Amino acid sequence: MRLLGVALMCGAMLCFTGLDTSSKWLGLRLPLLEIVWARYAGATLIALAAARPWTGWRALSSRRPALQALRSALLLLASACVVAALRSLQLAESATISFLTPIFVALAAGPLLGERVGRERMIVIMVGFVGVVIAVQPGAGLFQPAVLLAVAGVASNAGYVLVTRKLAGVDPPLTTLVWSQVPGFALTTPFVPWIWRAPPSAGVWLVLGGLGAFAAAGHALLIVAHRYAPAPALTPFTYTQLLWMIVAGFVVFGDVPPPMTLVGAALVVACGAWLALRERRSHGKA
């Protein structure tokens, strides 16, 4: 069953690649908030449709609504930061920065969850930061302010992951899936009439509609994957997204990552994988 969990995790990474690629492509044509709203609108409809046959609107009933609301807010902030950053960054650069998430989680898990960091983990965390610095080259005249937006998105996503840990086993997967989408849709909808720009072609409409499908499918696969395999076993496979992002960046935008971006990405991936494997060993001893 772990193999099924791994396959689902890889599928989720492919969906998230489709989401980021579509967001970057739309970012050249539509306002930021419109893209974020469309992502949540489509995903909300899909999530409610998936939940209703079994649970109806009871899927919105949570045992920890405050934590679910915080988790949703962090996901909304992370989504907005990523969409904004993708207007300037290559997909490979965005993916490299996003892989700081497990490093941020390891740092925050100490004060928030009482998990000890330790000397080895701290060294690996520092090496991971060095990898990102190499990838974005802040002193080479290539640094872009969008990198700071991407890092803010990583920090928000790390908070999202930590809150998700707190909610593990509290609510059914469908409830968590619905809570991942509905609050973001509710918060962004009132602003849409003020910023709406009609998509200029049928192709733009199609990609805009596909955002929700990518988001809902990705989160659903992610949630179900954790039912078949533990998080430490799944985490290394999140790095398959880097490969998909490099391919998508080249095919859709003609982007070829600079060699230093690939070197930095390799460092960050290695550090994240080491943290995941160490956590896996720790769980095995527990």
Each domain of the chain, given as residue ranges in start order, spans 2-285
The pLDDT score that the predictor gives to residue 140 is 46
User: pTM of the prediction?
Assistant: 0.79
Residue 85 has a CB neighbour count (10 Å cut-off) of: 28
C-alpha to C-alpha distance for 129 and 208, rounded to whole angstroms? 34
Taking the alpha carbons at both ends of the chain, their separation in whole angstroms is 21
pLDDT in tens, 233-284: 676 677 778 788 888 988 998 888 778 777 877 887 777 677 666 665 655 5
pLDDT in tens, 16-55: 999 999 999 998 889 999 999 999 998 888 777 766 655 5
Residue 284 has a CB neighbour count (10 Å cut-off) of: 9
| Higher pLDDT among residues 210 and 266, named by residue | 210
Nearest partner of 176 among 64, 286, 98, judged by Cα: 64
